[in-house]
């Protein structure tokens, strides 16, 4: 693998240590000269005395001029809070465009304003707060220099008030709700606005159009008149009470009543380092997974949705690549209760970042699964302008378990599995060059040799070009029991190139081709898979998009595979399959009350078969209170016997009702013909005070043919956030 040292040298040589590009954009924040009431009315003396950030720059449609839509931002603070006042002036007549009052809305589908805050001024991590024009809140943790984890939830308050010529967003953010280093008087900051009526996206400090407005590489500077105050003791207790009932109709057993309680605690060890504790956590209110028709040879990936694992979890979960994840938190508590857990995470200083987590699960008598302990530790050191070096250690231990003494016929589990990894993340000062190089080693009983993994990528992104290279190696004995590594014993090569063109006028904003080649080889460099994908994309000025594509696929099966995944029969290992496919994808403009996306593909399939796929996502909003969505997927597979013709429908209607920005109802039904299952999930949420909720969740599972109830459950959960 001579690519390893070569690419590492390239990554280091590409470090650009230029001065921060947007350092000239400064907003001075001073202590409020009067009390501030959060009501959307800017009548306080404090706001008249505050400095304003205005003259925003356009990002879209083109980043070569000032924004046409005016936005004015003011900030102030007192001993406990940061205050924010934003005046979003009208860019065109007509009503504002919003999805609903649901929290953490989709950025591109709403008129909105967002604050991006980098309290360590490291251009990598931070916080985001904002609202849409109807008052729905947005908050999240920022990581990787421009991504926002919206699972983060904390205590803050805001009001949006609409006027004939503007909408005003006013917010108060407690110092205790964020993390920052004492004594620092300059924070990275930027403000982003999305105005759908004019199709304009803008920011205060200019951001190139190829990057999201959340890019911390392009923040301006928030200059404090004195260092921000010490938030003092910061301890939050978050207990919950739960009651519920469930009944399994298939087993014929009587209904089972459930009562439970648990506690989360958040303790600020320092102003930038936090300790999270959980005892008997419950995740019954978490959104259900969106199902897919499974025609894949390998295990599917479903994202983590449990908030405890998501908060500050990017150090653990972002280590590696999409197909090489040494840590995947959904492995913890899979079918067994979690008794307790702890996580210490945050900044040690501007350059060092720490994350340590320990979780303890119970045993499962039905499957003889022993109690297990999971420990994950991550340490990250910033280098150069915005890059970092990270170390990861993972240990999964079965408690008081000896597989040699397992009962006859009982499943056998490993005593332990350990992973150690080192990773270098490249992010140049201007974000044009990004990349990653990592190595992993696993330790498991009875496995040695070919038990390591390596991967690296390098990407160049400019306005016209996006060029990238990625390669991966995973040894046949590499094992990540707490990770997601669906495939082992391979070498993968993925070059990609995209070219964009920008017409000076007309309905098309940008267009251009993309070519991607994905090749798999075994450890002796014999080809097993290859896909060559060529596409041409068009982005219109109204933000609707169209992509046309074609591909050639070659697969040599390494193990038997059922091409319809319903256990009818399997194609033999070693058989070779080759086919061509064409397809098209279209996404409508987000300004309409009725929005939709359509996808279609037609081509060959395994065993000289044919595959036709149609996918649609349709939505209509009665803004801002009701949003109706329907997702539908149809697959038609024509194969030789014994499979023959197979038609699979997957349909999922969803209803979101947001009566206020604290009162929500969601109903979601999924019909999966491949799995022969129909699922109904409804959730009522009342945020009766900041970060405190009442949930009522009802779920049903049905067998559609003949129609029959499989199981049914009702849960009521009360969560209360208490600051000490």
Q: Which structural domains are found in the chain, ordered by start?
A: 3-224 (2.60.40.1190)
- Nearest-angstrom CA–CA distance, 283 and 25: 43
Locate the DSSP E strands across 147-272. Answer: 147-149, 157-162, 166-174, 186-195, 200-203, 220-224, 235-248, 256-270
- Nearest-angstrom CA–CA distance, 520 and 277: 43
pLDDT tens digit sequence for 48-65: 999 999 999 999 988 889
Q: What is the DSSP letter of 368?
A: T
For residue 607, what are its two tokens? 């065993």
pLDDT tens digit sequence for 686-722: 999 888 999 999 999 988 877 888 899 999 999 999 9
Q: Among the listed ranges 46-55, 405-414, 463-472, 633-642, which one has the minimum average pLDDT value?
A: 405-414
- Banded pLDDT at 302 (limits 50, 70, 90): confident
Q: How many residues does the chain have?
A: 724
Specify the higher pLDDT residue, 436 or 154.
436
Question: Is 3 a residue whose pLDDT tops 50?
Answer: no
The contacts of residue 429 (CB under 8 Å, 6+ apart) are 16, 17, 18, 19, 20, 21, 217, 385, 386
Dihedral, 601, 606, 610, 613 alpha carbons, nearest 10: -30
Question: Is 13 a residue whose pLDDT tops 60?
Answer: no
The phi, psi pair for 431, rounded to 5°, reads 70, 5
Rg of the chain over Cα atoms, rounded to whole angstroms, equals 26
- Banded pLDDT at 6 (limits 50, 70, 90): low
11: enclosing H helix or E strand: helix 3-13
Q: Which of 71, 129, 118 shows the shortest CA–CA distance to 219?
A: 118
Question: Is 16 a residue whose pLDDT tops 50?
Answer: no
601 and 610 Cβ atoms separated by less than 8 Å: no
Number of Cβ atoms within 10 Å of the Cβ of 472: 22
Locate the DSSP E strands across 623-662. Answer: 626-638, 645-660
Mean local confidence (pLDDT), 312-322: 87
- Nearest-angstrom CA–CA distance, 148 and 130: 12
Q: Among the listed ranges 192-206, 293-307, 487-501, which one has the minimum average pLDDT value?
A: 293-307
pLDDT tens digit sequence for 521-579: 999 999 999 999 999 999 999 999 999 999 999 999 999 999 999 888 899 999 999 99
- Nearest-angstrom CA–CA distance, 608 and 108: 41
Query: Percent of the chain scored above 70 by pLDDT?
Result: 97
59 and 207 Cβ atoms separated by less than 8 Å: yes
pLDDT for res 291: 87
Dihedral, 326, 331, 337, 342 alpha carbons, nearest 10: 20
611: enclosing H helix or E strand: strand 609-622
The phi, psi pair for 287, rounded to 5°, reads -55, 140
pLDDT for res 21: 54
Specify the higher pLDDT residue, 102 or 680.
680
Three-class SS of residue 108? helix
Burial category of 441 from C-beta neighbours within 10 Å (exposed 0-12, middle 13-18, buried 19 and up) = middle
Question: Is 14 a residue whose pLDDT tops 50?
Answer: no
pTM score of the predicted model: 0.87
Q: Which of 302, 314, 270, 291 shows the shortest CA–CA distance to 151?
A: 314
| Residue in the block written with tokens 């989360």 | 264
Complete DSSP assignment for 672-690: ETTTTEEEEEEEEEEEEET
Mean local confidence (pLDDT), 134-141: 92
Q: How far is CA 318 from the centre of its chain?
A: 10
482 and 317 Cβ atoms separated by less than 8 Å: no
pLDDT for res 530: 97
For residue 644, what are its two tokens? 């023959």
- Nearest-angstrom CA–CA distance, 411 and 369: 8
Number of Cβ atoms within 10 Å of the Cβ of 606: 24
Give the strand pairing for 722-723 and 235-248.
antiparallel
């Amino acid at each position: 693998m001579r690519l390893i040292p070569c690419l590492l040298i390239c990554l280091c040589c590409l470090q650009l240590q230029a001065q921060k590009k947007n350092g000239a954009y400064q907003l001075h924040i001073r202590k409020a000269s009067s009390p501030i009431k959060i009501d959307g009315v800017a009548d306080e003396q404090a706001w008249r005395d505050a400095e304003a950030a205005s003259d925003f720059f356009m990002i879209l449609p083109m980043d070569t001029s000032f924004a046409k839509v005016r936005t004015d931002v003011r900030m102030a603070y007192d001993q406990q809070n940061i205050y924010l006042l934003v005046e979003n002036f009208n860019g065109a007549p007509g009503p504002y465009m919003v999805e609903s009052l649901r929290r953490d809305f989709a950025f591109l589908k709403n008129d909105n304003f967002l604050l991006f805050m980098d309290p360590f001024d490291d251009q990598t991590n931070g916080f985001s707060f904002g609202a849409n024009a109807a008052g729905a809140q947005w908050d999240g943790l920022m990581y990787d220099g421009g991504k926002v984890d919206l699972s983060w939830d904390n205590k803050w308050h805001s009001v949006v008030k609409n006027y004939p010529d503007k909408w005003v967003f006013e917010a108060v953010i407690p110092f205790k709700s964020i993390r920052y280093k004492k004594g620092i008087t300059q924070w990275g900051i930027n403000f982003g606005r999305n105005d759908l009526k004019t199709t304009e996206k803008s920011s205060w400090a200019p951001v190139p159009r190829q990057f999201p407005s959340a890019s911390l590489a392009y923040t301006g500077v928030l200059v404090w008149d004195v260092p921000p105050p010490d938030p003092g003791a910061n301890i939050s207790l978050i207990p919950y009470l739960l009651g519920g009932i469930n009944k399994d109709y298939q087993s014929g057993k009587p209904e089972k009543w459930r009562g439970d309680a648990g506690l989360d605690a958040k303790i600020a060890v320092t102003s930038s380092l936090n300790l999270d504790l959980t005892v008997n956590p419950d995740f019954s209110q978490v959104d259900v997974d969106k199902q897919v028709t499974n025609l894949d040879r390998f295990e599917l990936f479903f994202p983590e949705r449990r908030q405890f694992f998501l908060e500050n979890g990017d150090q653990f979960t972002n280590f590696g690549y999409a197909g090489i994840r040494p840590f995947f938190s959904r492995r913890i508590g899979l079918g067994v209760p979690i008794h307790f857990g702890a996580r210490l995470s945050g900044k040690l200083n501007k350059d060092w970042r720490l994350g340590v987590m320990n979780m303890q699960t119970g045993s499962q008598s039905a499957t003889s699964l022993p109690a297990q302990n999971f420990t994950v530790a991550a340490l990250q050191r910033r280098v150069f302008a915005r890059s970092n070096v990270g170390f990861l250690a993972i240990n999964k231990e079965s408690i008081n378990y000896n597989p040699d003494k397992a009962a006859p016929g009982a499943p056998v589990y490993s005593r332990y599995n350990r992973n150690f990894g080192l990773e270098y993340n490249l992010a140049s000062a201007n974000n044009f060059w990004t990349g990653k190089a990592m190595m992993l080693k696993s330790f498991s009983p009875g496995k040695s040799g070919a038990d390591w993994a390596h991967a690296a990528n390098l990407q160049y992104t400019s306005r016209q070009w996006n060029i990238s290279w990625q390669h991966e190696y995973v040894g046949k004995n590499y094992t990540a029991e707490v990770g997601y590594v669906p495939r082992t014993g391979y070498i993968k090569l993925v070059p990609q190139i995209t070219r964009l063109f920008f017409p000076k006028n007309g309905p098309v904003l940008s267009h251009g081709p993309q070519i991607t080649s994905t090749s798999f080889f075994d450890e002796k460099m014999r080809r097993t898979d290859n896909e060559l994908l060529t596409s041409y994309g068009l982005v219109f000025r109204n933000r609707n998009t169209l992509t046309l594509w074609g591909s050639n696929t070659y697969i040599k099966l390494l193990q038997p595979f059922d091409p319809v995944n319903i256990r009818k029969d399997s194609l033999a290992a070693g058989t070779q399959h080759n086919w061509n496919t064409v397809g098209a994808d279209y996404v409508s403009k987000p300004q309409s009350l009725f929005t939709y996306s359509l996808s279609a593909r037609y081509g060959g399939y395994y065993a000289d078969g044919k595959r036709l796929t149609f996918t649609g996502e349709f939505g209509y909003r009665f803004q801002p209170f009701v949003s109706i969505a329907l997702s539908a997927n149809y697959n038609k597979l024509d194969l030789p016997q014994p499979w023959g013709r197979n038609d699979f429908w997957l349909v999922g209607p969803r209803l979101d009702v947001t009566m206020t920005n604290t009162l929500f109802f969601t109903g979601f039904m999924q019909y999966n013909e491949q799995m022969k299952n129909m699922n109904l999930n409804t959730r009522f949420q009342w945020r009766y005070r900041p970060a405190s909720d009442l949930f009522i969740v009802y779920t049903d599972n049905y067998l559609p043919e003949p129609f029959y109830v499989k199981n049914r459950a009702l849960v009521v959960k009360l969560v209360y956030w208490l600051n000490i």
